[in-house]
Structure 1
Amino acid sequence: MARHLNKNDIEKIINIIVLWESNQITWDGICEAVEPLIGKKPTRQSLNMNKDIVEAYHNRKKGIRATDNAIRKPANLKIAAARIANLEKQIYHLEEQNKNFKEQFVKWQYNAYKFGVSENQLNSDLPTIERK
Structure 2
Amino acid sequence: MAPNSKPRLTDGDVQTIRALLEVWEGPLTWELLMGRVALVLGRSYSRQALDGHEAIKAAYQARKRRNRAIRESLRKGKVATDEVPPEFAAALRRAEAAELRVQALEQIIERYRGKFVCWLYNARNFGMTEEQLNAQLPRTDQVTGALWSKRKKA
Q: Which amino acid aligns with 1:20?
A: W
Select the structure with the greater relative contact order (CA < 8 A; seq sep ≥ 6). 1
2:60 paired with 1:57 = yes
Q: Which runs of 5+ in 2 are unaligned?
A: 75-87, 102-154
2:16 to 9, 12, 23: 12
AA of the residue aligned to 1:17: L
* TM-superposition CA deviations, 1:3-60 (whole Å, max 9, x none): 00001111111111111110x2100100101112211111101001100000000100
Q: Pick the structure with greater CA Rg.
A: 2
Q: Any runs of at least 4 consecutive aligned residues in structure 1 with deviations exceeding 2 A, and if so which?
A: 69-74
Q: Distance in 2 between matches of 1:37 and 1:61?
A: 20
Give the deviation of 1:63 after TM superposition.
Answer: 0.3
Instruction: State the distance in 1 between where 2:40 and 2:68 align.
Output: 27
The 3-state SS of whatever aligns with 1:63 is: helix
> Normalization by structure 2: what TM-score?
0.45
**What fraction of aligned residue pairs are identical, expressed as a percent?**
24
Provide the C-alpha distance between the structure 1 equivalents of 2:64 and 2:33, rounded to a whole number of angstroms.
Answer: 12
Matches within 5 A, 1:90-101: none
TM-score under structure 1 length normalisation: 0.52
Q: Distance in 1 between matches of 2:35 and 2:67?
A: 19
Instruction: Find the aligned partners of 1:17 and 1:55 in 2 and give their Cα distance.
Output: 10
- Using the alignment, how far apart are the partners of 2:6 and 2:43 within structure 1? 10
Q: How does 1:34-49 map to 2 (within 5 A)?
A: 34-49=37-52
Q: How does 1:1-132 map to 2 (within 5 A)?
A: 1-22=5-26, 24-68=27-71, 70=74, 71=88, 87=98
The AA in structure 1 aligned to 2:53 is: N
Aligned length in residues: 81
1-structure distance, mates of 2:39, 2:13: 11
Letter in 2 for 1:49: G
